[in-house]
Amino acid sequence: MADWLLNAARNLRVDTVTLDILNSTIDPSEMEKLPLLYHLKDLRNILVKELIQNGFDTNFIVSDKIKVEIPDNSIYSKTLYCFP
């Protein structure tokens, strides 16, 4: 998923992306490519599975976003910073 995210961000010249796991959306919306959305749904399924296995209700988490910053939009840089 990181490769898809990095390549799409480079092509669109985007330096910050927010992944909303619970709502399966990506901001900016131009980043909503099929492979990214597909894997975003996988993250939601993993989250729900972990909540159930640890005895939590599936509605326990009300907001789940990951902010990704790409500090250098160079084709030679492969650095991503992720903030929950």
pLDDT greater than 70 at residue 73: no
Angle subtended at Cα 48 by Cα 44 and Cα 54, rounded to the nearest 5 degrees: 145
pLDDT digits (tens, 9 = 90+) for 33-60: 878 888 888 888 899 999 999 999 999 9
Provide the number of structural domains found in the chain.
1
The burial class, CB within 10 Å (0-12 / 13-18 / 19+), for 75 is exposed
pLDDT of residue 70: 86
Domain range for 43 = 2-83
Average pLDDT, the chain: 86
